[in-house]
Amino acid sequence: MLKIENLTAEVGGKTILNGLNLTVNAGEVHAIMGPNGAGKSTLAYTLGGRPGYEITGGSVTFDGIDLLALDPHERAAAGLFLGFQYPVEIPGVSNVQFLREAANAQRKHRGEEALTGGEFLKLAKEKAALLRMDMDMLKRPVNVGFSGGEKKRNEMVQMGILDPKFAVLDETDSGLDIDALRVVGEGINSIMRAPGKGVLLITHYQRLLDYVKPDFVHILAKGKIVKTGGPELAHELEREGYEEVV
Ligand code: ADP
Ligand code: MG
Ligand code: MG
């Protein structure tokens, strides 16, 4: 479903991704762990097509198409979702407006009809309930004044509404308390654990993987995948640290 081959990328003139290889098949969840500054967020941004992240070599195919040739909105329309380590605040735009625009832009791109107000609200309520998010938060400006954990939950509500084929989630667990971690973990499973879908879960901590059980765990260091294993690799890292394991 997602095939990354020999990917190299620069940010600010500095090579950050340095020959990265990774294949995710439909139905799989892959976790990526790695020390600070390894290039995990850079990988997420590069897959999303963020300006300033320059591809200098290699390829990425998504469902057989050249992902890197698509604009960011085309990548989203193709079914790619990015959950950010630092979700942005959008003052002046309500969450409901934002989510409805995003959902309908994606439907339009796919040649589907826009959701009516009623249809959208039903969907939004369902996903907010799944993430135990108060409907009042949907009326507030996007992420403005939200706590770290609320922003992450909000991202998962957005993911639920967009119903992507593939999600790249960058430290979605950071800033979550124990209960929120479980809710978010169950939300990810409910939205993304399906035969035709795939997930790349970037995390520093094993605990999220207790809820979202990965098929593979990779260690990313210095811009490439240096080790791959099963869920036990995350436990090993937790016990021994990167220096011992890598
Ligand atoms: P991780 O998410 O694994 O902690 P990042 O992908 O955020 O790492 O960063 C990888 C490296 O790229 C770091 O050394 C970081 O300082 C550097 N980097 C990220 N963005 C920029 C930028 N805009 N200009 C220069 N260096 C950057
Ligand atoms: Mg980091
Ligand atoms: Mg990061």
pLDDT tens for residues 134-173? 989 999 999 999 998 899 999 999 999 999 999 999 999 9
Q: Tens digit of pLDDT for each residue in 168-207?
A: 999 999 889 999 999 999 999 999 999 999 999 999 889 9
Number of domains in the chain: 1
Closest CA to ligand 1's atom 14: 37
Please give the distance, rounded to the nearest whole angstrom, from the Cα atom of residue 166 to the centre of ligand 2: 22
Q: What is the DSSP letter of 69?
A: G
Mean of pLDDT over the chain: 94
Nearest atom, ligand 1, residue 202 CA: 2
* CATH code for position 48: 3.40.50.300
Range in 92-101, 194-203, 226-235, 236-245 the model is least confident about:
236-245
What domain range is 26 assigned to? 2-245
Residue 54 has pLDDT above 90, yes or no: yes
Residue 116 confidence (pLDDT):
94
Residue with tokens 């430290």: 171
Of 35, 66, 25, nearest in space to 223 by CA:
35
- How far, in Å, CA of 149 to CA of 184, rounded? 10
- How far, in Å, CA of 218 to CA of 30, rounded? 7
Element (H, E) at 20: strand 14-24
Q: Is 37 in the pocket of ligand 1 (CB under 6 A)?
A: yes
Instruction: Tell me the mean pLDDT in the region 214-219.
Output: 98
